[in-house]
Structure 1
Amino acid sequence: MAEKIAILVDSGSDLPENLRRKYGIWTMNLRIIYGKEVYEDGTDITAQTVYSRFPQQIPKTSTPNLMEVKETVEKIRQKGYRKLIAICISSGLSGTFNTVKTALREYTDMETFVFDSKSISMGTGIFALWTAKAIEKGMSFSEITAALLHKQNDSKVYYYMDTLDYLRAGGRIGKVTGLIGKVLGIKPIISCNEEGIYYTVSLLRGKKSGIQRLLEILKKHCPRGNIWLALMNGDAAKEADNVRRQLPKILPNAKLIVNKAITASLAVHTGPGLIGVCMFCAD
């Protein structure tokens, strides 16, 4: 019989609602802030709303605070859970990991594990999905947590970005080359490094070249084995559909398990025109 293990993520993990409901995954919402206007990510604001207010209004985002994390954990406890795995977006991009880790230290009567995915969006969410399936298969808490540490580098996400303006405005530029893209109109492909910080993978001139290069990178770096894919877009549904049609040709043994628009909190920092693909070795 499968152990009773709760999975906790924040909305920056970008897991689709149908999968969160199917596997009972608990979610803490980030917030999008326009001055005195505060919205809950994925609840009362969409990415499309954020895009519609660009470029005149660029909001800020905030992570769940210590009290909010504790309130969520209490709800989990009330449902009878005494084992909890929290899957967090990269500590190099967000404070969620440290906040959750601090909050869970107080729950000495629970077995807890906080995992720093060193990634973002479905690069994080796909770990939560794997964890849910592992619980379903009957893996124990200790087996799953040990496996997650071993799988740290099994998730890789690449983003084609139409602009770096919003990444720069939000202070998330990391090791991404910003000035070149601004001056020359060059389009970047970025990813997260081993520290979970954005870096430049490639720089190209023009959207068509950028998306073609993204596909080449995916083909070159796709690992062997049971590969899951997640396709994300930020106000670029048409371009994402074009990528979707090409994925079976370049990655014939991979399975597309998620295809979605990114959540509002991610739209804030990436702007319109984003295409992202996550590759995950599910073995």
Structure 2
Amino acid sequence: MTVRVVTDSTCDLTPDLAASAGIMVIPVYINLGDRSYLDGVDLTRTEFYARLPDFDPPPTTASPGPEPFRQTYEALAAEGADEIVSIHVAASLSTVCNVATAAARETQGARVTVVDSQQVSLGTGFLALTAARLAAAGRTAAEIVAALPDQIRRTRIFAALDTLEYLRRSGRVSALVAGLGSLLQIKPVLTVAEGVIRSDRVRTRSQAVQRILDLLGARGPLSHLAVLHTGARARAEALLAQVRHLAPPGEIPLVEVTPAIGAHVGPEGLGLACVQAAG
């Protein structure tokens, strides 16, 4: 029984890491004016974040239709996959899971199970890596899917944003709240857990960073940790140095977040993706 794993480009796995794990990544769309770009294919992250403050109208994002998913599933079946586990960005935040489910129903060559990661960025990516590791160990799709909810419960994304403006543009906060936030120099702090975004607000950039450090420290021993940023590499490197002592053995990924997420949170953001150790 051969099981393959599929995810989408919001997972923030590097192409090399996804390829080495045997994970297929389906790109979502970034819409800039009247043009649409495939995330990670037609538009680099560096270029996107350099131009983000000047985009008018603001960028939007969209899931591909069912056909790219179905074609991916059928291609994996043609390569010998009997079952496919397709893991995607939180269904509460995106339509990707719904589109993947529609494509799964149309797939003839392999049985496809769609999993809502209830996460974003490497919260999804870490889950896809776990699924790929279990598949490589010979687990069935049913066994893999049964193992994932425990990791979902232990996964958090903490983010310190530089402004409320991009949340306003994406409809997450009102123009009034964003305007007051700008006037008062309020910095949003977000936590993503089990498909829900919770928010906190502090007054300075340094307080926002300290807040996500405190949230990370409260998670106890970790099995996975990564540092995330939206066009703020130097600050992300400084944050990495601050969290290194909390990390499990091995390299800590430092990841510039996909534009599919950055479009909604804005430039100069910092984040931490973590999975609490089991037990």
* TM-score strictly above 0.5: yes
CA distance 1:118–1:244, change in 2 (3 Å) = same
Who is 1:272 aligned against? 267
- Paired with 1:282 and 1:257, the residues of 2 have a C-alpha distance of 15
Q: Is the 8 A contact 2:157 2:274 kept in 1?
A: yes
Gaps of 5+ in 1: none
Q: Deviations over 1:149-183 (max 9, x none)?
A: 33321211111100121122123459xx7565334
User: Quick one: which amino acid aligns to residue 184 of structure 2?
Assistant: L
CA distance 1:56–1:127, change in 2 (3 Å) = same
CA distance 1:63–1:252, change in 2 (3 Å) = closer
Q: Is the 8 A contact 2:74 2:107 kept in 1?
A: no
Work out the percentage of aligned pairs sharing the same amino acid: 29
Output aligned runs, 1:22-37, within 5 Å: 22-37=20-35
- Paired with 1:228 and 1:16, the residues of 2 have a C-alpha distance of 16
User: Aligned-pair RMSD on alpha carbons?
Assistant: 2.1
More helix by share: 2
User: Quick one: which amino acid aligns to residue 272 of structure 2?
Assistant: V
Output aligned runs, 1:119-198, within 5 Å: 119-173=119-173, 178=178, 181-194=181-194, 196-198=195-197
Q: Is the 8 A contact 1:229 1:256 kept in 2?
A: no
Q: Deviations over 1:23-58 (max 9, x none)?
A: 121111011112222211001202222223333312
Secondary structure of the corresponding residue to residue 151 of structure 1: helix
Which of 243, 247, 260 is residue 247 of structure 1 equivalent to?
243
Who is 2:257 aligned against? 262
CA distance 1:43–1:253, change in 2 (3 Å) = closer
Q: Is the 8 A contact 2:159 2:191 kept in 1?
A: yes
CA apart distance, 1:193: 4.1
Which of 199, 208, 211 is residue 210 of structure 1 equivalent to?
208
Q: Is the 8 A contact 1:8 1:27 kept in 2?
A: yes
**Stretch moving more, 23-32 or 253-262:** 253-262
Aligned length: 274
CA distance 1:108–1:77, change in 2 (3 Å) = closer
TM-score after normalising by structure 2: 0.90
- Paired with 2:114 and 2:258, the residues of 1 have a C-alpha distance of 22
Q: Does 1:235 align with 2:227?
A: no
Q: Deviations over 1:76-129 (max 9, x none)?
A: 222121210011101111100011112112336633221111110111111001
Gaps of 5+ in 2: none
TM-score after normalising by structure 1: 0.89
- Paired with 1:209 and 1:95, the residues of 2 have a C-alpha distance of 34
Who is 2:6 aligned against? 8
Secondary structure of the corresponding residue to residue 46 of structure 2: helix
CA distance 1:172–1:9, change in 2 (3 Å) = farther
CA apart distance, 1:271: 0.9
Secondary structure of the corresponding residue to residue 7 of structure 1: strand
**Stretch moving more, 88-97 or 51-60:** 51-60
User: Quick one: which amino acid aligns to residue 277 of structure 1?
Assistant: L
- Paired with 1:55 and 1:165, the residues of 2 have a C-alpha distance of 10
User: Quick one: which amino acid aligns to residue 275 of structure 1?
Assistant: L
Q: Is the 8 A contact 2:4 2:135 kept in 1?
A: no
Secondary structure of the corresponding residue to residue 26 of structure 1: strand
User: Quick one: which amino acid aligns to residue 16 of structure 2?
Assistant: N
Q: Is the 8 A contact 1:234 1:261 kept in 2?
A: yes
Secondary structure of the corresponding residue to residue 105 of structure 1: helix
**Stretch moving more, 101-110 or 157-166:** 101-110
Q: Is the 8 A contact 1:13 1:124 kept in 2?
A: yes
CA distance 1:193–1:229, change in 2 (3 Å) = closer
- Paired with 2:173 and 2:80, the residues of 1 have a C-alpha distance of 41
CA distance 1:135–1:211, change in 2 (3 Å) = same
- Paired with 1:199 and 1:171, the residues of 2 have a C-alpha distance of 16
User: Quick one: which amino acid aligns to residue 137 of structure 1?
Assistant: A
